[in-house]
């Protein structure tokens, strides 16, 4: 077949979707098309178009750009603006990266002491209304800093922006949380559910959340890790380290269901930075 005359027809896209519904993996479909004379570039484009149509039929929107560190070549250390940061672990699905020494010990202590007088029972976003509420699934105490509120917060925000190649103004204010013995945050997603009536109100302030950075401000004696139940991963809470994960779709297919495991002994302090599609106001 002459690749310049190969057309991606509705019939071809339907056939590809039928193969997907039957459980045929994309590389199998590609091999079958190549065996039938399809040029590889045309076949790949057809598969991408057809599978995107298939995902939209299932209520899964096309992915949006997300924050991302530069990890080509699997470096063990990356530069984050003013600081070298270790790369301890990375996964493709979910997209998870664990960073070592994102914060200094002094920065961790500063955030704790600045936050301590302002702690109150943590709330969660009420997606039915766009407001917030106390939720039994979240038993921590917390507070929010305004973006750039003080020198240490501004420095950390600049570092995260440089590390993840994401604009500084596309982030919410830093949240600091304190968990005592037995406190936890049960598994949840950080994106806002498109099916909830309050979501359009929430999205007016910067669009969807597309990434999360959880920074550990101390090391609990036992427990308190960040869990990803869909993939059986638990990231230990170690002072100065951080776990980053991104989600280009507001859908469980991202496998970014996560939670804060109960603190078994001691206490846990974390600082969380949520990143948005657009300018957060």
Residue 222 has a pLDDT of: 98
Average pLDDT value for residue range 30-44: 89
Contacts for 20 with CB less than 8 Å, ≥ 6 apart = 26, 29, 50, 51, 54
Same-domain pairing of 137 and 259: yes
pLDDT grade for 2, boundaries at 50, 70 and 90: low
Provide the β-strand partners of residue 142.
120, 177
> Is residue 64 in a domain?
no
Same-domain pairing of 87 and 208: yes
Domain of 161, in residue numbers = 77-276
> Is residue 90 in a domain?
yes
Cite the beta strand spans of the chain per DSSP E: 77-80, 83-91, 95-100, 120-121, 123-126, 131-134, 141-144, 175-179, 185-188, 209-216, 222-223, 226-228, 233-235, 242-246, 258-260, 263-265, 268-276
pLDDT in tens, 184-197: 999 999 999 998 99
Task: Give the whole-angstrom CA distance, residue 52 versus residue 231.
Answer: 24
pLDDT higher than threshold 60 for residue 1: no
Residue 48 has a pLDDT of: 81
Same-domain pairing of 211 and 82: yes
Same-domain pairing of 212 and 103: yes
Task: Give the whole-angstrom CA distance, residue 274 versus residue 245.
Answer: 10
Same-domain pairing of 116 and 148: yes
pLDDT grade for 269, boundaries at 50, 70 and 90: very high
Same-domain pairing of 200 and 268: yes
The residue with greater pLDDT, 123 or 155, is 155
User: What is the rounded end-to-end Cα distance, in angstroms, of the chain?
Assistant: 54
pLDDT in tens, 217-240: 999 999 999 999 999 999 999 999
> Is residue 281 in a domain?
no
Token pair, residue 136, equals 């039994």
Q: What is the pTM of this model?
A: 0.80
Whether the CB-CB separation of 177 and 142 falls below 8 Å is answered with: yes
The number of distinct structural domains making up the chain is 2
Q: The domain spanning residue 212 has which CATH number?
A: 2.60.120.620
Same-domain pairing of 196 and 240: yes
Pick from 100, 57, 63, 45: nearest CA to 78? 100
Same-domain pairing of 95 and 44: no
Task: Give residue for tokens 């809470």.
Answer: 237
- The conformation of residue 271, written as its DSSP 8-state character, comes to E
Mean pLDDT is lowest, of 29-38, 157-166, 181-190, 225-234, for: 29-38
């Amino acid at each position: 077949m002459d690749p310049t005359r190969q057309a991606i027809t509705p019939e071809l896209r339907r056939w590809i979707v039928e193969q997907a519904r039957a459980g045929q993996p994309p590389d199998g479909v590609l091999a079958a098309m190549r065996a039938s004379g399809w040029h590889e570039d045309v076949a790949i484009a057809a598969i991408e178009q057809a599978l995107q149509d298939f995902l939209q039929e299932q209520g899964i929107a096309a992915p949006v750009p997300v924050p991302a560190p530069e990890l080509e070549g699997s470096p063990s250390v990356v530069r984050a603006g003013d600081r070298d940061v270790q790369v301890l672990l990375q996964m493709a699905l979910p997209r998870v990266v664990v960073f070592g020494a994102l914060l200094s010990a002094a920065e961790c202590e500063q955030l704790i002491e600045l936050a301590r007088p302002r702690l109150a029972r943590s709330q969660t976003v009420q997606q039915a209304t766009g407001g917030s509420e106390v939720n039994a699934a979240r038993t921590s105490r917390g507070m929010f800093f305004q973006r750039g509120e003080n020198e240490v917060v501004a420095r950390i925000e600049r570092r995260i922006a440089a590390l993840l190649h994401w604009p500084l103004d596309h982030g919410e204010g830093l949240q600091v949380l304190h968990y005592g013995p037995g406190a936890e945050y049960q598994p949840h997603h950080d994106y806002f559910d498109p099916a909830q009536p309050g979501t359009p109100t929430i999205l007016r302030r910067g669009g969807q959340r597309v990434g999360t950075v959880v920074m550990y401000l101390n090391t609990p004696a036992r427990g308190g890790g960040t869990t990803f139940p869909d993939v059986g991963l638990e990231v230990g809470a170690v002072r100065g380290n951080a776990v980053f994960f991104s989600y280009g779709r507001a859908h469980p297919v991202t496998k970014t269901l996560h939670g804060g495991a109960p603190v078994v002994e001691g206490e846990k302090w974390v600082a969380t930075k949520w990143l948005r599609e657009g300018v957060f106001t």
